[in-house]
Amino acid sequence: MKLNDAQVKQFNEDGWLLLPDLFTPEEVGVLSAEAEEIYKVERPEIWREKSGAPRTAFAAHLYNEAFGILGRHPRMINPVEQLFGEKLYMHQYKINAKAKFSGDVWQWHQDYGTWKRDDGMPEPRAMNIAIFLDEVFPYNGALMLIPRSQTDGVLAAGHDKATTSYPLWTLDNDTVQRLYDKGGLVVPTGKAGSMLMFHGNLVHGSAGNITPLPRKIVYLTLNAVSNHIKKPTRPEWIAHQDFTPIEPCADNALTEYARRYKIAAE
């Protein structure tokens, strides 16, 4: 698939783009079921809230076939290659959860700030992808974005190691207020199977989830091969060091896997 001119224009101006219903209920169903199984496992790649609820599972594409297929899916890869004009590799892969009733916040931040400081990524030529595995409502911990904030470059940030179980380079309130006054705020929502693309410098965060509605999202960071990281300080399963270009799988690969999964379950 390719983005049309209006979609390219929106991304370039606002720094984000939502593609509703990109994946089918069958494809999403198997991913959601396998995510729940992954969260039950104890391994270093799986981080939990201070409450013990799952927060994120890193590098699932390396130990789960379905998520491996998703990481090579042409519906995701092709639009990013179109915008960057070159091949991509997987910089980071994680399945983030917002547990019902107790899902914690993600503070206001830019992702490229972390990639630059912690991984030595030269330029913000890495795309954030969010694929909804549950329906995302405005009230179950949805991602909040400040449009056009990517044009402000890399902002000063503090390393917050206390607020949540995951250390993050976060922005202060005055910075967020200034950006909000200029660009406003959007909350992209949609059904399971929708895909959100947003610029690495776009300021974003999410509130906690006290609703009875869980929210799982697969977050992938696709980096231009020419922009590979230079000075990684984090484990390889957080910031990958295999810069091999991704070769997309067949468009029906995830559907075929879902059908095999269903037959095996029966």
The CATH number of domain 5-265 is 2.60.120.620: yes
pLDDT digits (tens, 9 = 90+) for 192-212: 999 999 999 999 999 989 999
Residue 82: count of CB within 10 angstroms of its CB: 13
* pLDDT tens readout for residues 122-171: 999 999 999 999 999 999 999 999 999 999 999 999 887 767 656 778 99
Q: What residues contact 86, with CB distance under 8 A and at least 6 apart?
A: 224, 225, 226
Q: Are 204 and 140 in contact (CB under 8 A)?
A: no
Query: Which stretches does DSSP call E strand in the chain?
Result: 16-19, 46-48, 54-58, 88-98, 106-109, 126-132, 143-145, 158-160, 168-170, 195-199, 204-206, 215-224
Beta pairing partners, 145: 186, 204
Give SS3 for 152: helix
Rounded CA-CA distance 143/263 in Å is 35
Mean predicted confidence (pLDDT) in 29-42: 95
Structural tokens at position 60: 């699932």
Q: Which two tokens stand for residue 17?
A: 């783009």
pLDDT at 166: 66
